[in-house]
Structure 1
Amino acid sequence: MSVLIQFAIGLIFGAGLLISGMSNPAKVLNFLDLAAIRAGSWDPSLMFVMLGAVATAFIGFRMVLKRQRPLLGDTFHLPASNDIDPRIIIGPAIFGVGWGLAGFCPGPAFVALGYGTLASVLFVIAMMIGMAAARALAERQPTLATPSYE
């Protein structure tokens, strides 16, 4: 049953990306293009999508973490540490650079596969290779290994 619920949540997320236009890399890149501000063609809609997502997550986490246990699980899996290590800086920096260059992040990239564009296919392939490389690197170097939250 939980797989069906997770699938439904993914469909809702994907529909939100389509409705908001955030699966279109041109919309994202137009938000990140600071020269577009001067030209009067800057698109602030991504900012509103982000603010909506942050507000929803803020309220949602507050409500969910008041529960004794998750609705579809036995325990919450939360980080055991608040330490900032190089992975917390480097990972988001690589993510941001990739997002700024391509206009895709993982969720919208998968949604954009439905458009059948070469750019979305190449991005998803490169993303999967990068994820496999990161996992292999983490497994080879114990200092960068992913901590277990269980």
Structure 2
Amino acid sequence: MKSLKFLLVGIFFGIVLVKSEAVSWYRIYEMFQFQSFHMYGIIGSAIAVGILGVWLIKRSHLKSVDGQAIDIPPKDKSIPRYLLGGTIFGLGWALAGACPGPMYILVGTGVLSMLLVIVGAMLGTFFYGLIKDNLPH
């Protein structure tokens, strides 16, 4: 029953992203060309909701669905790390026309070429797993 709830939330989130055009290659292209505020508004809203959510979790000492305390450890504030990671993520997003979440939604809407992007993302994740112990963290 728990999995069904998550599946329904995922389907709802997918519908919202499709209807808001957040999975549209054209909207993503507009964003990278600085021609439209549309995607920046969506991303900014998501950041605001995330900040508010983390603040509420920390302030209210909320527990997970399993009843365990939610512990959010502090992040390592390494500017070069985030610049390199953000650049790689942004290049992949620009080349594929989708970030990780919408890749699956696009497959669900019939854009089967995204399966290649998903395979590439999985290979990249696997490769990172192989070399992560040799990287400065």
TM range (shorter): 0.7 to 0.9
Partner deviation per Cα, 1:83-141 (whole Å, 9 max, x = no partner): 41754332222101111222210001111011332431211111111111111111x42
* SS at 1:66 equivalent: helix
Mapped partners of 1:83, 1:27: distance in 2: 31
One-letter identity of the residue aligned with 1:33: Q
Mapped partners of 2:119, 2:32: distance in 1: 23
Maintained 8 Å contact 1:99/1:105: yes
Q: TM-score, normalised by structure 2?
A: 0.81
Match for residue 93 of structure 2?
Answer: 99
1:113 matched to 2:107: yes
Maintained 8 Å contact 1:21/1:27: yes
Maintained 8 Å contact 2:21/2:27: yes
Could you tell me which runs of 5 or more consecutive residues in structure 2 were left unpaired when the two chains were aligned.
Answer: none
Mapped partners of 2:117, 2:91: distance in 1: 13
Question: How far is 1:143 from its partner?
Answer: 4.4
- How well do the aligned residues superpose, as a CA RMSD in angstroms? 2.3
Partner deviation per Cα, 1:42-75 (whole Å, 9 max, x = no partner): 3321011112112211222211211224242413
Q: TM-score, normalised by structure 1?
A: 0.75
State the identity %. 24
Change (3 A) 1:46 1:136: same
Mapped partners of 2:44, 2:113: distance in 1: 27
Question: How far is 1:2 from its partner?
Answer: 4.7
Match for residue 147 of structure 1?
Answer: none
Mapped partners of 2:11, 2:128: distance in 1: 27
1:15 matched to 2:35: no
1:47 matched to 2:40: yes
One-letter identity of the residue aligned with 2:104: F
Could you tell me which runs of 5 or more consecutive residues in structure 1 were left unpaired when the two chains were aligned.
Answer: 35-41, 145-150
Mapped partners of 1:64, 1:53: distance in 2: 16
Match for residue 123 of structure 1?
Answer: 117
The equivalences for 1:1-150 within 5 A come to 2-34=2-34, 42-73=35-66, 74-84=68-78, 87-138=81-132, 140-141=133-134, 143-144=136-137
Higher relative contact order (CA 8 A, sep 6+): 1
